[in-house]
Amino acid sequence: MAIERTLAICKPDAVERGHIGEIIRAIESNQLKIRAMRMVHLTRPMADGFYAVHRDRAFFRELIDFMTRGPSVIMVLEGENAIARWRELMGATDPAKAAEGTLRKRFGASITENAVHGSDGPETARFEIAWFFPGYEVGY
C-alpha cells in the first residue's frame, strides 16, 4: 500500500473549544505521522482560494465566515493510505450522520462547524498541501 500525504485542519470551532490535543492524539495513536504543522488565522482570500471548488454552493458564505473567525491548526499527515484513513477518523461531513467515536461525532456541532477537514483524494491533497506549505517545509 502506498505512503500518502493528506492535509488535515483543526477548524476554528475545535481550536476555540480546546480540542487540538485530542485531535492530535487521535492522529498519532492511529499511526499517522504529523509531517508539518502551522497555526493560521485564515484571511478571506486564503479561505476563498482553499475552498474555491465550493464557490457556487449555498453554504459558501457561511463556510468562509466560519473558517476566518479564528485560528486553525493546519497539518500535513503522512502514512499508508493516509487520505482514506484520516477521512475515516474524521467521520461523515455532517456530525449528526458521523459514526460513533469519529472526530466529527465527538467534536462537531453542525455540518458547517464540523471540527476537522481532510483532503478527499490524491489530487486534492497535493493542491491543499501546496496551498499552505512551501515545499521546503514538507520535503518537496
Active site residues: 117
Tell me which residues touch ligand CMP (CB under 6 A): 54, 59, 63, 93, 111-112, 114, 117
Q: How far is the CB of 128 from ligand CMP (least distance, A)?
A: 10
> Based on CB atoms, which residue is closest to ligand CMP, 1 or 61?
61
For residues 37 and 125, give the distance between their C-alpha atoms in angstroms, rounded to a whole number. 15
Q: Supply the DSSP string of 18-51, one letter for each residue.
A: T-HHHHHHHHHTTT-EEEEEEEE---HHHHHHHT
Q: How far is the CB of 107 from ligand CMP (least distance, A)?
A: 13
Q: How far is the CB of 136 from ligand CMP (least distance, A)?
A: 26
> Based on CB atoms, which residue is closest to ligand CMP, 36 or 98?
98
Q: Which positions ≥6 away from 140 have C-beta within 8 Å?
A: none
Quote the longest CA-to-CA distance of the chain. 39
Grid coordinates representing 48? 476563498
> Based on CB atoms, which residue is closest to ligand CMP, 40 or 139?
40
